[in-house]
């Protein structure tokens, strides 16, 4: 197996688990992760695409980068900026293909980024590479929830099915994470990264 993805409900700890286990292994990473932007009242006001390698840097600059924010919430409605995936996102995927990191982090895929055809094509190519990949695949429940909260149309069922099929066809698995199997999945992920 070379692809290990988690899916599950919001705030169950998918990204936190991946980051914790990756840091514990000391392995180098490339790819991307999504950072939540938090407003003054503690609510999520946006999502930003970040370089995965900064997760391992002791002095990483984690200041918000507006040009990398792909979802923004204003007055209770979300708007999106697909250009982030077509420029910065594609750059991170291309860098991951050429940079010889121990593994690639794709956290999270299966959402609005699939509206960018050029990014989706790069993503599908990436999953077929021989490098080991870990990540989060947006669960169907979270996808349906995202559709409700987005002003613009979000119909990516076909792209999600194609992406899921590509992961599974290329020695991958997508495991559902919840509070009951957290320790078991953590152990499986640790074992996967040791191989």
**For 78-103, how does the pLDDT look when each residue is reduced to its tens digit (9 = 90+)?**
788 999 999 999 999 999 999 889 99
- Please state the rounded mean pLDDT for residues 145-149: 81
Using pLDDT thresholds of 50, 70 and 90, give the confidence band for residue 152: confident
Please tell me the predicted confidence (pLDDT) of residue 74: 81
Do β-strands 3-7 and 44-51 pair in parallel, antiparallel, or remain unpaired? Answer: unpaired
- 168 with 137: CB under 8 angstroms? no
- pTM (2 decimals)? 0.94
All structural domains of the chain with their residue ranges: 3-194
User: Which overall architecture, per CATH, does domain 3-194 show?
Assistant: 3-Layer(aba) Sandwich (3.40)
Across the chain, mean pLDDT equals: 93
Taking alpha carbons only, the member of 111, 104, 66, 113 closest to residue 86 is: 113
């Amino acid at each position: 197996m070379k692809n290990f993805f988690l899916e599950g409900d919001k705030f169950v700890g998918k990204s936190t688990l991946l980051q914790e286990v990756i840091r514990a292994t000391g392995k180098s990473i490339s790819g991307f992760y999504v950072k939540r932007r938090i407003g003054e009242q503690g609510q999520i006001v946006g999502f930003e695409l970040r370089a995965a390698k900064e997760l391992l840097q002791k002095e990483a600059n984690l200041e918000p980068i507006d040009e990398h924010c792909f979802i923004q919430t204003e007055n209770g409605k979300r708007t999106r900026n697909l250009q982030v995936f077509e420029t910065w996102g594609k750059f991170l995927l291309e860098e991951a293909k050429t940079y010889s990191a121990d593994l690639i982090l794709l956290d999270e895929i299966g959402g609005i980024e699939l509206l960018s055809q050029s990014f989706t094509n790069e993503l599908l190519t990436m999953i077929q590479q021989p490098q080991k990949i870990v990540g989060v695949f947006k669960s169907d429940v979270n996808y349906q929830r995202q559709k409700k909260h987005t002003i613009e149309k979000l119909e990516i069922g076909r792209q999600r099915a194609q992406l899921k099929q590509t992961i599974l066809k290329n020695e991958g698995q997508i495991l559902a994470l919840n509070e009951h199997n957290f320790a078991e999945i953590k152990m499986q992920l640790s074992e996967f990264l040791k191989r």
